[in-house]
Copies of this chain bind each other. A is one copy, B any other.
């Protein structure tokens, strides 16, 4: 048994029982972004949260234990994503990456936006010309240390 098998079981159960990620998130009292990532094997949960997930997706005790372990992260099967929905974000980095770098350095000096002390928020923005996907990224600025 490995983590991937648990992810596949969760997805399969989600489809056959028609469960919504937002429902799972409410049950755990966490954001839907974090919970979805955890269910897909990218984030760990604590014991209590894992038990809740187990009850929703009919997991065994051993499967539940796996949910509490820091996973081997990385959800892309290839270096460049092939799925169009995911690829568009890679394209944004490809087109806007150097601009983002310039603007972060202009505003904050040398450093990076943390991908660890980080949160994300995906919402629907109604718009008469067609609704928009609104994604808010928030990460702590980490300056390079001089020594």
Contacts and interface: CB of A to CB of B under 8 A. Distances in A.
Interface of A: 1-2, 8, 11-12, 15-16, 20-22, 30-34, 36-37, 40, 42-44, 62, 65-66, 69-70, 72-76, 78-120, 122, 124-125, 127, 129-147
A97 B75 contact: yes
B115 A95 contact: yes
Nearest to A49: B146
A30 to B, nearest CB: 7
A82 B94 contact: yes
A44 B88 contact: no
* Chain A contact residues, majority secondary structure: mixed
B132 A140 contact: yes
23 contacts: A15-B62, A16-B62, A30-B146, A33-B99, A36-B99, A42-B98, A73-B82, A73-B84, A75-B96, A75-B98, A76-B93, A85-B100, A85-B105, A90-B93, A108-B131, A108-B133, A111-B116, A117-B142, A118-B145, A119-B147, A130-B141, A133-B139, A133-B141
